[in-house]
Structure 1
Amino acid sequence: MILGASNAFASVSGTHILLRLDGDELISRRLEAVRDQIRMLLRDVQPRIDYSGLAASGRAVQVRIDDVYQVEAAKSALKTLTDPVAGIQEMALDGSEPGLLKVTMTDAGVKSRTSVALKQSIEIINNRLHDLGVANAVAEQADEDGILVQAPGVADLQKLGNILARPGRLSFQLVDTSMTADEAVNGRPPAGATLIYSADNPPVPYLIENRVIVAGKNVMDAQAATNSGGGEPVVAIRLDSRGTERFKWATTQNIGKPFAVILDDHVISAPIIREPIEHGTVQISGNFTAESANELALLFRTGALPARLTIVEEAR
């Protein structure tokens, strides 16, 4: 139990929270993945297919095939995107405009993705409620894109809602040291890197390599703790075998380089790699309080929500 004994969760009857799934973000994230798939599928074709204008917009990803004689080969390469999965055709391919191919998310695909995301979100929210120690609380689907959280024992409903709705997307990525963050802010970040800011006030910019070394899905467990030096709050996480292998490789190859911990598009810590970390247990520090360390451990342990959730109602 992390927060169950807190005054924030003192007994108040009849409380509930209504959350709404952000369908636009869900579609956008799916189309980003489809765009990357298209890039890989066209890259692997022999002879090579030259293309331009690969971009996602609305509910479609479009790409222009430079050589009209390669359009049929491109269609064949992209066919796997339109194959039904579990009886549902998620994507449709349109080549009616010469040289332009459009991969569009179908209504059935949107409905299926939304249904799956809701089920995953409800499972994660129930896990968070359990870990928080909120008695008699339960999350269930409401309408086509809503989640109703019944929490009869909660006084601070806003605080609970904020924890339940946090995306919890975690990644470990290397800091790009080819230029300073200030140079990137005043100019242009190099290819393969992005400016990401901390949640401080004022925010601190970091130039981060786009490649994700270890993701939240590689976290098997996370617990709030205190470091052995000054007793400061930290979060200790344990990685699975894949995450351990990747972390060992990254810390062995990049000694002396900063390694950023990114949560929900903000850098929460960027320590310098001092030595290889081979055992799969990582300690994260970052000026945490005991409460924030507990909350971070909860998010890492229960995993990331598949899409953004918005609080649309809090009522008693």
Structure 2
Amino acid sequence: MKILFCGEGFPEARKQLAALLPDDEILAFPPDQIGSHIADADIVVPTVNRVDEALMKKGHFAFIQQFGVGLEGVDIEAATRNGIRVARIPSEESGNAASVAEHAILFMLMLSRNWNRLARAREENKPLPWGSPEGVALRGKTVCIVGLGGIGRELARRLAGFQVRIVTADDHADRTVPGIEIARRYTLAELPAAVAGADYVVLSLNYTPDRYHLIGKAEIAAMKRGVYLINVARGGLLDEHALLTALKSGQVAGAGLDVFWEEPVDPNHPIFKENVIATPHTGGVTDVSYEGISRAFAENVKRYAAGEKPRYLANDPTTTRRRVP
């Protein structure tokens, strides 16, 4: 079968998949060339690109398999209408969630210890006075985890060792993390109350259209002054204009961003003049997550090739396209 990546990213992923699926062909083209090659595809991998109904009708593929979790670029309703199954790889099972959780803690520590100020001092060759700048320790602080799915649970497990107070905001208010004390659980409808006393707010929930700018001007205003805001989920959850204003005013002391309102993000955006630590959507790009995702991906491809229903489906069409041999 021909497996088409919508973009030329994820080279290591394609290398691992080629080893796991030696009888299949792994293809990758720039996004502007996908339409010209889609007719050859048996399986489409959206990565971070858009797969809409127009593209679906150009091809004969009956399966969209994401290399990871996010499906915000896929028109799932259109896929269902066209008899195309859509699947993701759960983050907790693949090791992706653990990797992203570590990345969130990296942001927390770098912001707390004034990484940007230290880096500027080194670059400008201007040593800071001995004992400066004063850092912030995580111990005793309150962390609000927004979204207690795979990433949120892995983050809670890791934060417990830092002796922080954990509160959560989730669409399932009864979610817990076995063995981890959660001081208080809120629903997403109670978000302003959930973030009000937090020293750190970490976004780790799935993105859906109704969660666009879940964190905006009102929610940031509800946070305590000097909060650190971290997004390792999806860029659409956070209003970048509200964040920029809050960074300039000091309402938000610093932000850690692994995802953005557009990707790739403009490196000259004014938000990067503030106390922001940014990485290019690499929170889950580790040896552990790539190995786990590749293994689950290959298993699903084999199920599909054998005529079995793939695992981790995001939809389940009543009738499906006939797979072209």
Instruction: Indicate whether the TM-score tops 0.5.
Output: no
Whichever structure has more helix as a proportion of its residues is: 2
Question: Per chain length, whose mean CA-contact separation is higher, i.e. which structure has more relative contact order (CA < 8 Å, sep 6+)?
Answer: 1
When Rg is computed on C-alpha atoms for both structures, the one with the higher figure is 1
Quickly name the TM-score band, shorter chain normalised: under 0.3
> TM-score, with normalisation over the residues of structure 1?
0.28
